[in-house]
Every structure is written in structure tokens, then in C-alpha cells.
A and B are shown apart, each in its own frame.
Chain A
Amino acid sequence: MNSTTMMLGGGGKATNDFIKNYIIKYFGNVYLNDLRDASKLKTNGNISFTTDSFVVKPEFFPGGDIGKLAVYGTCNDLAVSGAKPKYLSLSLIVSEGYSLENLDKILNSIKLAVDEIDVKIVCGDTKVVERSEEPSIFINTTGIGELVVDLNNYNNINIGDKVIITSDIARHGLAVLSERNELNVDTEIKSDCCNLYKIFEHVGYEGIKFARDATRGGVAAVLNEIKEHSNKGFLIEEDRVPVEEPVKYLCEFLGFDMLEIANEGVAVLICENDKAEEMVGKLKELEIAKNARVVGEVTDSKKVLLKNSYGGIRVVEMPDGNLLPRIC
């Protein structure tokens, strides 16, 4: 058998074999091995709880794959809400005919990611659906983390607080688009997909008032979301926003706004004014945050504004969800 068939999700022997030969082989741990109907877990105090589904196409792209993304994505949501990721569920929806070799590669990549973050997969599910076009795979992960500090409370944000971006932006979106051959240009750009919990492990929580990862919709979406809920505004300095030259160039060329492009390893931190520069210094000690910068501050304008180097100011709108290259 070198590709999935409907048998695999049928609940019989094939399912059992799959769980044994793949799932337990990769992710076996004290919670999972018993294959209980539901796992018995232990946590201390408040938990954070989140879920996300991953449908990225193609499933392998420069710098990552759907498996790695499914782990990092959910764990990063826990990390930026102030929690330490502890447990994950893993649900696979695969269409019949999907290559088992690829599935194995994806599971292996999941395994590496969960080990790195030190999170355990404690339950899961596999379904096989009828094939319609190209065989594909979707993954859902749900995560539980132990809440250390609440970093998602909009009331903590004050005018004058600084905005930090922890890494250079817009790599993930461009990497996926170019792998899909939608850009018609050869790029070396790799996804920034990484474990953001490392950041908090390294710098702690002191001085950080709010955090969010800038995934779909990029930095523009995050800032607009915070603006809406906090009733404050932002003034961001364009020159300070970390971005690699090839990324910037490609965005110019295609008419994309780099602030609207998806990331997988970028957090936006809102930090007490007088702690911000020190925080950036500490962040830079980490490989994944070596390009961290203070990019602007919280204002009372109720708008997200971007100021360029000669003082021109423009609004940064909430992206409308569709990255479409321009006509000429």
C-alpha cells in the first residue's frame, strides 16, 4: 500500500494498523498510548485553549510543510496568549489516493516540531474522504497551554506603549505563493515558520502587555484587530519595519503590501515604553528574533497609520483577505 484508501479511515484493522504504525510510532506518550476515548490530563491553574485547521497548498514549501505549520500554528497561538503549550490534538483529513510517503514525511515533521516545543499529542482522529481532484491533506490541531500571564487583554494597552515586531516580515506568504508557481519568479524566500514560545522562554513576560502572532493578513490585520478592540490607534514607522531586501523587492514588483502578507514566525508585542529597547536587545539574542525592532507606538488616533521617512502618512487598512497581483 503506497497511498491512502477509504479503508484507512474506516475504523477497522486498517485504521488500527495506521494508528499503531504511524501515529503511535511517531507520537507515542503516556497519555496517548492507552488509546482511551478521551485523554486524562493534568494542568496547573488557568489554561489557554485554541484550535486551528491547516489547509495550505502545496503542503510542502520552502522552509516548512503543513505538518510543521499545524504544530507551530496552534502552539504559537497559545504562546502569544501568554501560555506554555502542553497538549495537542491531531486530526488528519486525507483524501483517498494521498501518497503514504508524503503522509509519513508530514508526520515526521510534526514529530520534530512537537519535540522541539515540548508539547504532547494526546488525542486525534483520521478520516479519509473521497478523492475529487488532486489528493490532498488537511490537518486540525487543538491545543491546551498553561496560562502564565494573560497577554490577550486589550485593557492593558496604553497610549505611549511601544510596538515591537519580533522578526522580519512577509516571508511565509511569499514562500507559499512562489511554491505554487503563482508569482512566476524564482525566489529563495523561505517561510519563517517557527516556535514563538521560545521568545517568551527567553525574555520572560515582564513589560509585555499584549502579544499576537501576525499570521493571515499579516501585521496590518493584527494592528487593525487590536485597534478595533482596544479603541486606540497606532503610528508605525515604515523604515523601522524589519523586512529582507528580496522580500521587499518582490512585494514592490507584484504590487503587494508587505504588511498584509502572512507570516508564521512573527509576533507583534506591545511593550511598556521604557522597557521596549531593552526587550529588543534580549530578543535579538535569539536566532528567530534577530531582526526584532521597535516599529512604532500606541496612539489615541483610533487608526493604524504608517509614516514614511519623509513624513508622509497613510492609513493601513484591514486587509480584505485576497492577495491579488496587480495588472501592470
Chain B
Amino acid sequence: MEMISRFRDKDIVKLLLENIFKETETDKIYNIMEVCGTHTMSISRFGIRGLLPKNVRLISGPGCPVCVTSQGEIDMIFELLKYNDVIAAVYGDLMKVPGSDGRNLLDLKAEGKDIRVVISPLDVLKLKNEQKKGVVFISIGFETTNPATAGLIEVIVNQGLDGFYILTLNKTMPEIIDILLEDKELNVDGFLCPGHVSVMTGESLYLPIIKRNKAAVITGFEPVDILYSILDIIRQINCKNFFIKNNYGRVVNSIGNEKANGLVYKYFEPADSIWRGVGTIKNSGLKIREQYKYLDASERFGLHPSDKLEIDGCKCGEVLKGKILPNKCNLFGLMCTPENPVGPCMVSSEGACAAYYKYEI
């Protein structure tokens, strides 16, 4: 906890805010995107938006793994449970995400489907002993969580365990960052780069950002981290000198975690993936390698994502791409609330709509 409290220190926060106010040029608008959902949550939870000068705008990006999962991919989970008597192991965030018919996994569980919430992929191994049904781990996540899924596969393979399957909905960051950078409408001047993802990827992931004269600052999740990085971005914009800065050096090194990446690509290969509200992005997902195909739930149970779009009116795609603020979606807070969500952005613990709904005044 001491580790955390240093990064929440009142006096440091005050000092950083004073500097941000001092160095912000009033005739400029600073558009800063936080790529990561955990950043979005922290910003809202600590009330950071309200502490900044009006012309420093924080825009939420695509970094919530559940939110970027396309409707077609989510429907695959429902298909799996509809036709197969299996145990589905999922992360908690998924439980309230609605399928196309409006029902969620909590509804299915109440109907008797065997759905278990796990905190880490290795928890999945414990489920097998209880029953002789197949266990399917629904794997969702970015660079941060992908190695953990690979770790699960490694245990299954090494121990020759039977009856475990993985439904791989994992995605990777570089391709979506490219898309954001190419977007002419999206006028972002700098990025708060995701701390957790960077632990795995290192700094090189953000080279395209600075090549386009935008700031890239790798940032932790505490108020001091976030404000310090916002100040850095403001400084880079002011003097038009753009470089990758690592403000999360206590955790992130410049080359990333080669061992974890090695593990990921031992079991996975890049594959096209459908992103919610964006569409198919080449090589932005992961697929289990041919050699381990017998573990692939989509092969075993014949599942294919449909190209179903979001439920009518849901603007998740626009929110993910930073085009609109969550509260500008017509359904926000009316038809779409955390109890009655229309899109995953409203239920995932890292979703931008949820962050706005829950915390913003």
C-alpha cells in the first residue's frame, strides 16, 4: 500500500496541477487520448478530468478488452453454451455483457448453464476435477493478459490434460493504434500509453505515434502517474518535440518482456480479428497454432463469429475510437445503464461508458 500512497500524495498532486495550469497555453486545445481502459477508470475515479484546465481534454480510447470484442464474437460464447454441455470459465467483466438477444451470461447461469468466474486462467485447471464436462476458457484480453492464456496452454500441453479448450478472442494493440493515427477526423495530440501493455511490448509499440508528431508517454495508474504524464504531453506539444517517454519505469522496461512474448507466440500466431464498431483488422488478433489446434474451442465446437454489428443505437465504436464522449451516445444513462447495458462499454469494469456513468459528476 505504501507503494500506492506515494503515487497518491496530495502535495505532489497539487504541485503537478499547478504546473499543468502554468504551462497550458490558453489559446490551444490539448487533445489527449488514454488508450487503456484502466486509465479511463482511474481518471474518472480520482476525479482528474475536473481538476484539469478546460482546454486539456482527455479522450477515452479503445483499451478495454471486453469493449472491443465484437458482437459476433460475444454471440459465439452464447452459441457455445446453447449447444454444448460444457463449463465456461470467464472473467467477471463478461457476465453482464449482452448477447444479440439482450440476455447476458448471468441470465444463462440462472437457466442452469455452467458458467464460472475466474480471476486468472490457471484457476481454470481447478474446474476440471469437479465434473467430467469439457471446460472452455473464454480468453479475452490484450498484450497484458495474452501471456497468461499462453501460460494456461503451456500447462495443459505439458501435463497432457484432457478436456480443456480455449476460445481465443484476444487482440493486440499495434494495429488499432495505426488505425487511430490514420484517422483524419481524430485530432489527438498525445497519448497516455497503457502501462500494463507496455510491460509486455516495451516502448517500440509507440514509435508510429511520435513519427506522426504526437506525444507518447507510458503511464502508470495512480493520480501522480497520470498527472505527471499529462504534464509531459503538454510540454511536448508546446515545444513540438515529440518522443516516447516512459513514466512507468518502475514496472516497464524499454524492450518489454521477451519471455512472455515468446510464450505467446509459441502457442499463438497473428490472425485477423473483428473489433467492435471498427470491423476486421488484419493481424490484430491471435489464433492457436496448428500444432495445438485440438485445444481451440472454435475448432472443437465449430464456432465462427458472425459479422453481426452492435445492437441498434449503440455507439461503442465511436466511443472506442474517441470520436464521441460516452455521454453523447443517445442511449447513455437512458436505455443503457450498468444494470441494463446495451453495449459492453457500459458494463466492463474498464469500459468508458461505465466510467462516465459511475464516476463523472
Residues of A within 8 A of B (CB): 182-184, 245, 248-249, 252, 254-255, 303, 305, 307-315, 317, 320-322, 324-328
Contact = CB atoms under 8 A, between A and B. Distances in A.
27 contacts: A182-B117, A245-B1, A255-B349, A305-B361, A308-B46, A308-B47, A309-B13, A310-B223, A311-B51, A312-B50, A312-B223, A317-B338, A317-B358, A317-B359, A320-B338, A322-B95, A322-B106, A324-B93, A324-B96, A324-B349, A326-B92, A327-B140, A327-B350, A328-B38, A328-B65, A328-B145, A328-B196
B92 A325 contact: yes
Nearest to A184: B119
A306 to B, nearest CB: 8
Contacts of B48: 312
Nearest to B43: A312
Nearest to B347: A320
Contacts of B47: 307-308, 311-314
A325 B118 CA distance: 9
A170 to B, nearest CB: 14
Contacts of A305: 361
Nearest to B11: A310
Nearest to A303: B361
A314 B223 contact: no
Given A255-B349, A325-B119, A328-B144, A310 B17 contact: yes
A24 to B, nearest CB: 39
B66 A327 contact: yes
Interface of B: 1, 4, 8, 10, 13-14, 17, 38, 44-48, 50-51, 65-66, 91-93, 95-96, 106, 117, 119-120, 123, 140-142, 144-145, 196, 223, 338-339, 348-350, 357-361
A327 B223 contact: no
Contacts of A311: 47, 51
A contact face: mostly helix, strand, loop, or mixed: loop
B338 to A, nearest CB: 5
Contacts of A312: 46-48, 50-51, 223
A322 B50 CA distance: 28
A320 B93 CA distance: 13
Contacts of A307: 47
A327 B361 contact: no
Contacts of B359: 314-315, 317
Nearest to A306: B47
Given A315-B358, A325-B117, A327-B141, A309 B10 contact: yes
Contact of A326 (B4, B338, B350, B357): B350
A310 B14 contact: yes
A22 B260 CA distance: 59
A159 to B, nearest CB: 18
